[in-house]
Structure 1
Amino acid sequence: MKVGFIGTGSMGTVLIESFIRSGAIRPSAVVAANRSHEKAVRLAARYPGLTAAGSNGEVAAACDLVFLCVRPLSFKSVIDEIKPYITADQIVISITSPVLLKHLESALPCKVAKVIPSITNEVQSGAALCIYGERMNGEDRTSLERLLSPISKPIRVAESYTRVTSDISSCGPAFLAYFVQKLIDAAVQVAGMPREEATRLASETLLGTGKLLNEGGYTPESLRQRVAVPGGIIEAGLELMERELETTFVRLLQATHAKYDEDVEKIDQLFFGSIID
């Protein structure tokens, strides 16, 4: 089986390298193309056997699975370019949340899916959100999830939850990293702690907390209750966070949803010429 990647930017490269390093795909089974051909050539140099294609059409013609790892507003032009090479038995996979299944199915004759990866897949961890078009049968879905399993935990979600699930799994690492960075900054500012030491400590704490939530049987609420002693230092800190952050995360999701809706409208116009429901 040949697996193609159109777009070798940040997430395209994460997927390619994660698949290869995990052993899920051999370099010789990968065909990659990028708008800047040199990027694909550099990948091929790092992973002997990987093919740096000269065009997107070459990827589409050669591969059974094709991952589209391009910016949302580039999708229509890329799909128009590869459509002549796509057959009904191929699977085309978008990794971009605002590009909907209806966009892909209206423009391509093949099976389509969406897989929303996470930067955590780089270390063979975290979720990969799987959203399937109507042409994908049970065997297709199982096969794709088997491919994703060495680098992630594949989780099937409804397309109506694409944005909120992406906020948690795909955007979540950036949001959590921001929170950790602010905690580190405060440790340096308030206590004069060396930044390197604070960073190492915070990183280990985040890793351990994740293990408690995934393997230790805790929920976020029960973990808070287990650690915070009534009337103690942790409770004082949590009370402040409750006051200061009461609506922050609701507003955070409202902001990401607003941007998502804006992007979907633009893509509707590209694919259908007008905004539709």
Structure 2
Amino acid sequence: MKVGFIGIGSMGSLLIDSLVGSGALEPSNITASNRTFAKAEKLAMQHPGLHAVQHNSDAVIGQDIIFLCIKPLEFKPVLEEISGIVREDQIIVSITSPVMIKQLEELLPCKIAKVIPSITNYVCCGATLCMFGNRLNESDMSRLKRLFSAISTPLIIDEKHTRIVSDISSCGPAFMAYVLQCFIDAAVQETGISREEAVVVASAMLLGTGQLLTDGGMSPEALQARVSVPGGITAQALALLEQELSGVFNAVIQTTHAKYEEDLERVALSLNGKEVNGP
């Protein structure tokens, strides 16, 4: 299987690193282009055998799957560059949430999918969110799911739920890391424990918590009940958190959705000069 990547920024390079590191792809089967060619050359040095090319068209010709790992407003010039050379049997995979599958199907003759990765894929865990266009057959979908199974748990979702599921799966690691950072900072300030020790303990705690919520079969509510004794230390702290954090994550979701709606409008105007009301 030959795979092309257009754009190797944060998520594009993460996907390549993960897929190569897991053994799902050999570097020799990957062709990558980037607006800054030196970045593609550097990636090729990190993964000997990977083909760095200067033109996006060269990342399309001869490939079975082509990943578009670019920003929303970069789609129009890239699509104009590749639309005349994409074959109907090729699969284009966008990892950009506000670009709709329907929009890509209107502008390209090939098969279209959308996949939202997560930084957790770097250590071959977490989810990848998969959405498939109408032109993909069962074999195409199975091929993509097998590819992503090497670095994650592929989850098939409805495109209309892209934002909220992305909030949890893709933005969530940053949100939880921020909460953990605040916990660590407070521990250091209040007690004098070294930051290094607090980071080690807190990180191990978060890993174990994730395993309890997955392999351990616990729900968040059940985990709290198991740790918290009525009238005890944990119960008092949880009561404080409930009071202080009330509505915080509602506001977080409202913020991400507002930005998403803004991006949807900007992408629609960029691609076809008209507004949309969402997916």
- Scaled by the length of structure 2, the TM-score of the pair is 0.98
SS of the aligned residue for 1:171 comes to: helix
Match for residue 89 of structure 1?
89
Task: Give the secondary structure class of the aligned counterpart of 1:20.
Answer: helix
- Aligned equivalents of 1:237, 1:209: Cα separation in 2: 17
Q: Give the 3-state SS of the residue equivalent to 1:185 in structure 2.
A: helix
Q: Distance in 2 between matches of 1:57 and 1:166?
A: 30
Give the distance between the partners of 1:44 and 1:6, measured in 2 at CA. 14
Distance 2:101 2:67 in 1: 14
Query: Counterparts in 2 of 1:128-139, with a 5 A limit?
Result: 128-139=128-139
- Whether 1:67 and 2:67 are equivalent positions in the alignment is yes
Give the letter for the 1:192 counterpart.
G
User: What do residues 121-145 of structure 1 show as CA deviations (whole Å, max 9, x unaligned)?
Assistant: 0011110000111111111111100
Quick one: distance in 1 between partners of 2:235 and 2:56? Answer: 56
Q: What is the rounded CA distance, in whole Å, between the counterparts of 2:182 and 2:156 in structure 1?
A: 33
SS class of match (2:61): helix
Matched, 1:56 2:44: no
RMSD, matched Cα: 0.7
Higher mean C-alpha displacement, 162-171 vs 75-84: 75-84
Report matched runs for 1:1-277 at 5 Å: 1-277=1-277
The offset of 1:181, in angstroms, is: 0.1
Identity %: 53
Structure 2: runs of 5+ lacking an equivalent: none
Kindly indicate whether the alpha-carbon contact (under 8 Å) linking 2:44 and 2:50 is maintained by their aligned counterparts in 1: yes
Query: Residue type matched to 1:55 in 2?
Result: H
Q: Tell me the amino acid that sits aligned with residue 154 of structure 2.
A: P
Aligned residues: 277
Deviation (angstroms), 1:182: 0.2
Tell me the distance in 2 between the aligned counterparts of 1:12 and 1:271.
22
Q: Secondary structure at 2:134's aligned position in 1? A: coil
SS at 1:85 equivalent = coil
In structure 2, distance between residues paired with 1:222 and 1:182: 24
Deviations 1:147-192 (A, max 9, x none): 1111111000000100000000000000000000000000011111
What is the alpha-carbon distance in structure 1 between the residues aligned to residue 160 and residue 275 of structure 2? 18
How far does residue 79 in structure 1 lie from its aligned partner after superposition?
1.0
The DSSP-based 3-state class of the residue aligned with 1:270 is helix
Deviant stretches of 4+, over 3 Å = none
Query: 3-state DSSP class of the match of 1:170?
Result: helix
Counterparts of 1:108 and 1:188, CA distance in 2: 54
Measure the CA separation in 2 of the matches of 1:194 and 1:125.
Answer: 30
CA contact (8 A) 2:264 2:276 kept: no
- For 2:4 and 2:62, the matched residues in 1 are separated by 8
